[in-house]
Amino acid sequence: MTPITCIEDLRVLARRRVPKMFYDYVDVGSWTESTYRANETDFQRMLLRQRVAVDLTTRDTRATMLDRAVSMPVAIAPTGLTGMVRADGEILAARAAKRFGIPFTLSTVSICSIEDIADATDGHPFWFQLYMMRDRNFVEKLIRRAHAAHCDALVLTLDLPISGQRHKDLKNGLTAPPRLTLLNLLNMAGKPGWCLRMLRTPRRTFGNIVGHAEGVGDMASMADWSSRNYDPSMTWDDIAWVRRLWDRKLILKGILDPEDAAKAQRAGADAIVVSNHGGRQLDGAPSSIRALPAIVDAVGARTEVHLDSGVRSGQDVLKALALGARGVFIGRAMLYGLGALGEAGVTLALEIIRKELDLTMAFCGRTAIGQVDADVLLRDTPELPRALAA
């Protein structure tokens, strides 16, 4: 097999090995996918300052995210249906993250459950992502389960009170649970490795919901529950309610506007994630990297700012740090590795990103993450966000 040297290599391999409906679920944006594409291209247009004659003998990518020491300022983002990209996918990704020394975030709509992750990682702290549901009793139980599993941060996602229109998912019949049409079944049959692993695992439902939400005992009842439980009425009052229930670190994810960032800060967020949900919600919204500088300006150093959407390399990580982020979340890059090679693929994706981060930092004349600032970027690049170029 040709050596894998970048995240794109993992994506190509994952596309061959993962059934189309689940690969497309990973690799899809909403409507015209303009924001999905901008998330990557806006990173690529930013130019770096090469510096020379700097002692690069000792370099260090270690940092902290929400007071946790990390091997690099990267966390694994919460991604739904991860266990359908690869059997037991959330467990595999959590193990890789633990060994690598970065946070893993479990999605509410994961296949493996909160308890599965706690058991598989021997009680190692991880983060849990929460969607606000109409059934507040269920939400409160989820929060208590995350607390009992030693999650040290709760990631409340704000930008999915309703779902964006994703054409590929609609055409593939990707629902909760997925519709097993003839075309989907034929495509799955062409992925024998995927099928064999799925047959061997008992984890093929939504582990945080089935058997826990009232009236949801199997995947058939899950469909009706999910269609009526995402809560479009969520307001800042609901966020305050979650803040009262959760006594550990609270991260608010899905912020693109400085006014919302200031509201998140007043609501008691320990960190916010500048994110457009990977381009899967509001098509035509700005890329996360373009929105980042104004949000950093709005909240200052009082609330930690993270970023996701579009990060495909260590260079992207460096550029986000240069614009004021304290860390980034990776979703698709992790899923490509998982779909391609399982747990080893997640580890490889992390190794690729760390190596790229280390080398790019060095070429820019920096030897430690704490030294990375806006001076690693060329200020006269016309594609830079206006707040930075000014």
Q: What positions carry a catalytic annotation?
A: 277
Residues 179, 125: Cα–Cα separation, whole Å:
34
Residues 142, 304: Cα–Cα separation, whole Å:
25
Q: Is 85 annotated as a binding residue?
A: no
Q: Is 200 annotated as a binding residue?
A: no
Q: With contact defined as beta carbons under 8 Å apart, do 305 and 189 qualify?
A: no
Residues 76, 285: Cα–Cα separation, whole Å:
23
Exposure on the CB side of residue 6, measured as CA atoms within 13 A = 8
Q: Is 309 annotated as a binding residue?
A: yes
Q: Is 312 annotated as a binding residue?
A: yes
Q: Is 253 annotated as a binding residue?
A: yes
Q: Is 71 annotated as a binding residue?
A: no
Q: Which residue has the tokens 């599993």?
A: 149
Q: With contact defined as beta carbons under 8 Å apart, do 80 and 109 qualify?
A: yes
Q: Is 34 annotated as a binding residue?
A: no
Q: Is 136 annotated as a binding residue?
A: no
Q: With contact defined as beta carbons under 8 Å apart, do 115 and 146 qualify?
A: no
Q: Is 315 annotated as a binding residue?
A: no
Q: Is 266 annotated as a binding residue?
A: no
Q: Is 23 annotated as a binding residue?
A: no
Q: Are strands 127-130 and 105-106 parallel, antiparallel or unpaired?
A: parallel
Q: Are strands 68-70 and 63-65 parallel, antiparallel or unpaired?
A: antiparallel
Q: Is 230 annotated as a binding residue?
A: no
Q: 201: which residues sit within 8 A by CB, 6+ positions away?
A: 83, 87, 88
170, with CB counted inside 10 A (0-12, 13-18, 19+), is exposed
Q: Is 211 annotated as a binding residue?
A: no
Chain mean position to CA 335: 10
Q: Is 113 annotated as a binding residue?
A: no
Q: Is 248 annotated as a binding residue?
A: no
Residues 111, 89: Cα–Cα separation, whole Å:
8
* Amino acid (1-letter code) at residue 181: T
| DSSP summary character for residue 71 | S
Q: Is 314 annotated as a binding residue?
A: no
3 — phi, psi (to 5°)?
A: -55, 140
Q: Is 167 annotated as a binding residue?
A: no
Annotated binding site: 25, 78-80, 107, 129, 131, 157, 166, 253, 275, 277, 280, 308-312, 331-332
Annotated binding site for FMN: 78-80, 107, 129, 157, 253, 275, 308-312, 331-332
Annotated binding site for glyoxylate: 25, 131, 166, 277, 280
